[in-house]
Structure 1
Amino acid sequence: MKLKNYLSLLLLLVAFSGHSQKKKVAVVTFYANKMIGFEDLGIGSEELLKNILNLRDNPNFNLSPMLEKYHSNFFNDYSKAFPFELLPESEVINNEAYKSFVPKFELKGYDEKNYLVYDGYKYVYEGFNGKFNEEALAKMFADKADGVLFVNINFALEKGFGIGGTASVKMRATTRMALYNKKGEKVFAFSENERSKKTGVMVGGIPVMKPEKILPMCESALEELMGDLKKRIAKIVSKSESKL
């Protein structure tokens, strides 16, 4: 083979190798909101808010198993729908700069009770007025990743069906995923949600907020959400790699 042809072939192989290599993204926050939403009920009573706060503070209202399951599914299954690879978690949560990072709108004192953050991660606010966090984290991991991904889940009560004069409620589980490139510019941000099959009851116009009543509804809603989430993600993010 002539030297000229050999060099041309070598350049093509190098170019193909670089093109075929997937870009990488660092997941920089992963948490669940422990404050159950109730906007859909159209109820703003002090009693309901008190019950929701009591539920949040009740040690029996344990969302950890659900967050663990969602985390496992996210990294082991849903991540395969992304057109990019996720940086190993150990390279994120063990990063010294990340461990010492103080996010804007950092949780302090009372607000810390509102969130259950997956082990090793920080609660990092993303979205409206959160530009500082996106840019800072994108810069922090720029040498290892082409972007940073924010992931969270939350739950909210919704009106169900009334049977025999008895009002019922359902739970809606929602996950938000938001990706930012190396400059801290938004690549995509979307939310997916589903309602629970299980229902709860209202007494005197107020939902029963006991852990043994609310947790099964949360679990049911999350199961419905996770059902075909991988397919939904694939449709939404299919062209996102070109924007990194």
Structure 2
Amino acid sequence: MGDNALILGHRTSEWCGHGPVLEEDIALANTALDLIGHTQMWLGLAGEVEGEGRNADNLAYLRDAMKFKNVLLVELPKGDMAVTMMREFLFDAYHHLLLTWLAENSKSPRVAEIAAKALKEVSYHLDRASDIVVRLGDGTQESHRRMQAALDLLWPYTGELFAGDDVDAAIVEAGIAPDLGALHADWNGLVSEVLEEATLQMPEPGGYAHLGGKQGRHTEHLGFILAEMQFLQRAYPGASW
């Protein structure tokens, strides 16, 4: 969860100073800041659990690409605003459902606490992204075309959101987190309702692809992200503001 928030936060931050209108520029910058804040909490907890003396900064800035476990959806290039907002919507719908379960049901007090804090911001992210998807999908012919193209591009990557591994199975058994597959139906219902209002055609379920899982793998996109994101800390080890 920390890696997902970190990489998506960095991708979203790429709009800072480049948004199509001032309001969206500021909104995207704030969304990126929220995600980086979530990263600090999740990776801080990961460092504590690991017990090897690494903190959130160490895990964010000093790991190689092969050690990252984010889903591929969040590391894809930002594309145009249609791709950016459609990705935010698809991920926010999943993120909101997951955080809600964790905040209400996790047997780990720390996990529940972090989820409850992050949920307040992600609720706003989801509302905003849903509204923009509807406005652009049911807008002009050009905005509709772009949003449908963005949906078709991103849809195959959504299956990985619900693909678990042995670690997921262990924390499900411990009552720390939900079975990701069990969230799929609720996510599908939430997404389909918004897409219908946006007059967008939801791709067939067969379009899902579990693209690699959370096994830690280098991709071209992630390599470029980390080269930019980690430059300062690697060039000047231990540097701080």
Report the TM-score when normalising by structure 2.
0.27
Considering fraction of residues, name the structure with more helix. Answer: 2
Greater C-alpha radius of gyration: 1
